[in-house]
Amino acid sequence: MDNIAVLIKKMLVRELNSSEKIHLSEQQPMKELLSRQWEEKTDKHILDKVDSNVIWKNITTVCWEKNAPAITKPTNKTRLIRLGTATAAAVAILLVGLWLANVMTDSYMTVTAPLDSKMALVLPDSSTVWVNAGTTLRYKKDFREDRRVLLDGEAFFDVVKMPSSPFRVYFNGSCVEVKGTVFTIKSEQKKAEVILFSGKVAFTPPESETAVEMKPSDRIVYDAVNKNVMLARVDAVEYDWRTSEYRFVDKPLGELINFLNRTYKIDIVLKNADYEKSKFSGVIRKGEPLEDILDKVCFTFDLKNKKSDKYIILY
């Protein structure tokens, strides 16, 4: 007991080494507490967004108030009882704190991409996920039995179809249920975006029981502030951030110019409207100088360009 008390004191000042943490974690109060926690579905507070601070407060209240002895003049025996009770309570609180902090590590696999690079991984069901820079992806260790993914950031999914087990992505309070398809999700604090490349998905916004069915080339933007769901048709190629280039096939010139205006923050004007529906097929590198792209466009359609103070005119 004295040894445990020493470990707790070191824990409170953050001086535990790795072996001491392991030793403390193996004490009986911790084992019993974790056993009860796992039996009560530990991931519930994550998916249902129960505040961990509330859980912490309830646990500390039970541990301290329930076990606190009456205020009397302490004897040697009561000092030992108090030490044992307080130590057990402190260990219990420590264990719950560790569990709340590390529940993802214990029951989930966690993947976080570096802030300056992307990552690609293959899930246990052979689905492929490309994780954008700074994004975190979590999934259960028994993923094949429960294909749920928790996303914080942006990821591109190529999901393997398994009729007996739907694939679900939880993000920003929303959920996307997948049958077997290719799509991308971008989750931010105030906005979420889903773009479907192929297959079929159903988007369910927060606090709603009605799902929005999406078709290929559909883009949904969910405004978390105003609770609005906006559905539009797009060229999904423009939103594939995995590669270093855009591969356009039969893209109308009018749409290509709109894409360039958005991407390069420029205002390109097509003088002859008859060219708007002309088809462009080719490759544009991400970050390619605008002048080089305009040369490709002008060569393809036998056009010229000139710059003014506000516009670039194609004629």
Last residue of a domain, one of 74, 107, 140: 107
Question: 307 and 220 share a domain?
Answer: no
The residues, any chain, with a CB within 8 Å of residue 299's CB and separated by 6 or more, are none
Boundaries of domain holding 55:
2-107
pLDDT of 27 strictly over 80: no
Question: 22 and 130 share a domain?
Answer: no
pLDDT of 92 strictly over 50: no
Question: 86 and 22 share a domain?
Answer: yes
Question: 204 and 143 share a domain?
Answer: yes
Last residue of a domain, one of 238, 257, 289: 238
Q: Count CB-CB contacts under 10 A for residue 278.
A: 17
Q: What is the pLDDT of residue 77?
A: 45
Using CB atoms within 10 A of its CB, is residue 108 exposed (0-12), middle (13-18) or buried (19+)?
A: buried
Mean pLDDT estimate for the chain: 78
* Total structural domains within the chain: 3
Contact 293, 257 (CB under 8 A): no
The residues, any chain, with a CB within 8 Å of residue 209's CB and separated by 6 or more, are none
Question: 250 and 297 share a domain?
Answer: yes
Using N-to-C axis directions, what is the helix angle for 76-107 and 28-39, rounded to 10°? 40
The residues, any chain, with a CB within 8 Å of residue 147's CB and separated by 6 or more, are 125, 139, 162, 165, 166, 167, 168
Helical H runs in the chain?
Answer: 2-12, 18-25, 28-39, 44-47, 52-67, 76-107, 253-264, 290-301
Using CB atoms within 10 A of its CB, is residue 173 exposed (0-12), middle (13-18) or buried (19+)?
A: middle
The band of 12, judged by pLDDT with boundaries at 50, 70 and 90, is low
pLDDT of 37 strictly over 60: no
Q: What is the CATH number of the domain that holds 307?
A: 3.55.50.30
Q: What is the pLDDT of residue 14?
A: 57
Confidence (pTM):
0.58
Question: 193 and 295 share a domain?
Answer: no
Q: What is the CATH number of the domain that holds 141?
A: 2.60.120.1440
Compute the average pLDDT of residues 147-162. 94
Question: 63 and 77 share a domain?
Answer: yes
